[in-house]
């Protein structure tokens, strides 16, 4: 296929940039090895529009049926992506779905058009088509096909929320990690494989905007334009390097996570999510921590009701400022930057009540500055003081795993999750501290078979003599 990509250099006329298709065969790819460094992205031609124009997103049952018919006429894997309104809306729902399949081209769907619209009396006003009808139709079109996504774990929760659950998938970002690619973002992989620079200026756009501007739709279509040929290139390399079994196990694990999410629904938010407030390390008193907690919970409730990202209701910095020096009355509260915005002032009574609750809280109910689950190892930064032997053990194991990861050419965090190493090294450690016991412990931590095969012996040999 081919596509037109206007250059953004001053005065330059649009240039036609060929998009490689079909993807290289394994033989072609083998002949191209070893890989040469990708050119500087800024030197590459800009790919600003898809190879063929895309139709507006399906937004009623009639256009959805046409989209589904096109996908069914196609063959092979289906590339998928979603656009969310992170930073603008409260949750991570999808506001646009992108599909691409050989013989079907790129198809867009507006999931918002199929969701009930709340009205003043609290009921839901019907939309162009019911959510159940749309979900069933999309799910049927995707049934049994392999899904191709980039960084699948980012998109799958909102797809599962819509009732779309994979049975097979290929994650191009994870595949690139297993191949030890130095940069695994989609734009970097497209630059390396196809010699094109993707336009990314709409990556942080508010995708809940309606109507969606045409140039945003071009950007969204490009997110699936290259996934299918990229998938084939990466599979070829994985097979050549003997890493295809690793990838299959990783992809199967992601599918199981998505299917489990579909069966059980999303987990409840952690009770201590408020501890992630930016700048909380500056709050030194338990009473101040209580203020952070109460303000965070109040903000979260208001943000959910308004369907806004929490920081758009009240920034973290304002919460921390109020916690470090409790304001005197509402006047003192609105004198703090962040509380004086029009949106924050509309809820000044809520903020004042939250602070008053924290100030009146009995000492025994105040939160500790450091919250730890007794079932989990403490943060690694605390090990040296709490258990120097365990701290030395963790350092030794981490060093050995990092060296082994470098030797075989895979990122250490993909070879084995850092959390698994912490659990292995914090008492009680596996006994006897041999390869078999370490393997069993790693499996309990969720490690895959290929990971256990590669690191169980390395970890066992790195545990201290006193563990034997």
- Which residues lie across from 336 on neighbouring strands? none
Do 93 and 239 fall into the same domain? Answer: yes
Q: Does 181 fall in a domain?
A: yes
CATH number, residue 305: 1.10.150.80
One digit per residue, pLDDT tens: the chain, 468 residues? 333 333 333 333 333 333 333 333 333 333 334 455 555 667 899 998 999 999 999 999 899 999 999 999 999 999 999 999 999 999 999 999 999 999 999 999 999 998 765 544 444 444 445 667 777 888 888 888 999 999 999 999 999 999 999 999 999 999 999 999 999 999 999 999 999 999 878 888 999 999 999 999 999 999 999 999 999 999 999 999 999 999 999 999 999 999 999 999 999 988 899 999 999 999 999 999 999 999 999 999 999 999 999 999 999 999 999 999 989 888 899 999 999 999 999 999 999 999 999 999 999 999 987 766 667 898 898 999 999 999 999 999 999 999 999 999 999 999 999 999 999 999 988 888 899 999 999 999 999 999 999 999 999 999 976 544
Residues 244 and 291 occupy one common structural domain: no
Residue 373 is assigned to a structural domain of this protein: no
Q: Residue 216: phi, psi to the nearest 5?
A: -70, -40
Three-state SS annotation for the chain: CEEEECCCCCCCCCEEEECCCCCCCHHHHHHHCCCCCCCCHHHCCEECCCCCCCCCCECCHHHHHHHHHHHHHCEEEEEEEEEECCCCCCCCCEEEEEEEEECCEEEEECHHHHCCEECCCCCEECCCCCHHHHHHHHHHHHCCCEEEECCHHHHHHHHHHCCCCCCEEEEHHHHHHHCCCCCCCHHHHHHHHHCCEECCCCCCCCCCCCCCCHHHHHHHHHHHHCHHHHHHHHHHHHHHCCCHHHHHHHHHHHHHHHHHHHHHCCCCCCCCHHHHCCCHHHCCCHHHHHHHHHHHHHHHHHHHHHCCCHHHHCCHHHHHHHHHCCCCHHHHHHCCCCCCCHHHHCCHHHHHHHHHHHHHCCHHHCCCCCCCCCCCCCCHHHHHHHCHHHHHHHHHHHHHHHHHHHHHCCCHHHHCCHHHHHHHHCCCCCCCCCHHHHHHHHHHCCCCHHHHHHHHHHHHHHCCHHHC
Residues 252 and 285 in one domain: no
- Same-domain pairing of 151 and 221: yes
Tell me the chain's radius of gyration from C-alpha atoms.
26
Same domain, 349 and 406: no
User: Into how many domains does the chain fold?
Assistant: 3
Does residue 13 lie within any of the structural domains?
A: no
HSE-CB of 311 using CA atoms within 13 angstroms = 8
Whether 370 is in a domain gets the answer no
Whether 30 and 57 map to the same domain: the answer is: yes
Asked, for residue 330, whether it belongs to a domain, the answer is yes
Asked if omega into 241 is within 30° of 0 (cis), the reply is no
**Is the domain of 418 the same as that of 292?**
no
CA dist., res. 179 & res. 241, Å (int):
8
119 to 60, 289, 301, 322: CA distances (angstroms): 20, 38, 20, 36
Same domain for 440 and 408: yes
Within-domain flag for 158: yes
The residue from 264, 297, 323 where one domain ends is: 264
Answer whether 339's CB lies under 8 Å from 333's CB.
yes
* Same domain for 252 and 132: yes
Query: 388 and 332 share a domain?
Result: no
Tell me, what CATH number does 164's domain have? 3.30.420.10
Q: Which of 224, 241, 264 is the last residue of a domain?
A: 264
Residues 277, 210: one domain? no
In a domain, residue 10? The reply is no
Largest CA distance in the chain: 74
Residues shown for the chain: 468
Write down which residue in 314, 336, 365 finishes a domain: 365
In a domain, 374, yes or no: no
Q: Which domain holds residue 195?
A: 18-264
- Kindly give the interhelix angle for 227-240 and 186-194, rounded to the nearest 10 degrees: 80
Same domain, 281 and 390: no
Give how far the C-alpha of residue 41 lies from the chain's centroid of Cα atoms, to the nearest Å. 24
Peptide bond into 124 cis (omega under 30): no
């Amino acid at each position: 296929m081919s596509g037109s990509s206007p250059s953004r250099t001053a005065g330059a006329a649009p240039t036609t940039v060929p998009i490689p298709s079909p993807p290289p065969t394994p033989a072609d790819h083998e002949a191209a090895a070893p890989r040469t460094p990708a050119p500087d992205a800024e030197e590459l031609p800009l790919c600003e529009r898809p190879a063929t124009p895309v139709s507006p997103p399906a937004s009623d049952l009639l256009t959805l049926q046409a989209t589904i018919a096109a996908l069914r006429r196609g063959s092979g894997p289906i590339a998928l992506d979603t656009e969310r309104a992170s930073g603008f809306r409260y949750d991570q729902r999808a506001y646009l779905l992108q599909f691409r399949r050989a013989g079907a081209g790129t198809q867009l769907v507006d999931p918002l058009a199929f969701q009930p619209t709340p009205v003043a009396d609290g009921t839901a006003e019907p939309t162009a088509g019911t959510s159940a009808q749309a979900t069933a139709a999309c799910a049927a079109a995707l049934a049994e096909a392999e899904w191709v996504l980039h960084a699948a774990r980012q998109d799958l929760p909102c797809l599962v929320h819509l009732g779309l659950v994979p049975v097979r998938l290929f994650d191009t970002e994870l595949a690139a990690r297993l191949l030890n690619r130095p940069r695994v973002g989609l734009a970097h992989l497209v630059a390396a494989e196809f010699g094109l620079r993707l336009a990314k200026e709409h990556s942080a756009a508010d995708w809940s905007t309606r109507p969606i501007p045409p140039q945003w739709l071009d950007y969204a279509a490009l997110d699936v334009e290259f996934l299918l040929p990229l998938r084939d290139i990466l599979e070829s390399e994985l097979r050549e390097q003997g890493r295809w079994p690793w990838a299959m196990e990783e992809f199967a694990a992601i599918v199981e996570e998505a299917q489990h999410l579909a069966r059980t629904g999303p987990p409840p938010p952690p009770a201590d999510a408020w501890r992630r407030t930016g700048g909380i390390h500056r709050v030194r008193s338990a009473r101040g921590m209580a203020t952070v907690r109460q303000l965070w919970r109040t903000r979260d409730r208001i943000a959910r009701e308004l369907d806004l990202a929490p920081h758009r209701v009240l920034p973290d910095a304002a919460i921390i400022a109020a916690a470090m020096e409790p304001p005197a009355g509402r006047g003192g509260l609105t004198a703090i930057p962040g509380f004086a915005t029009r949106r924050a002032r509309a809820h000044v009574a809520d903020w004042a009540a939250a602070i008053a609750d924290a100030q009146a809280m009995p000492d025994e109910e105040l939160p500790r500055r450091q919250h730890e689950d007794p079932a989990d190892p403490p943060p690694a930064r605390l090990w040296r003081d709490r258990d120097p032997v365990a701290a030395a053990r963790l350092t030794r194991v981490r060093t050995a795993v990092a060296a082994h990861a470098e030797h075989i050419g895979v990122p250490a965090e993909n070879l084995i999750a850092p959390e698994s190493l912490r659990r292995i090294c914090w008492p009680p450690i596996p006994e006897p501290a041999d390869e078999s016991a370490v393997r069993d412990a790693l499996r309990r931590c969720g490690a895959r078979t290929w990971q256990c095969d590669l690191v169980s012996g390395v970890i066992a040999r790195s545990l201290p003599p006193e563990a034997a």
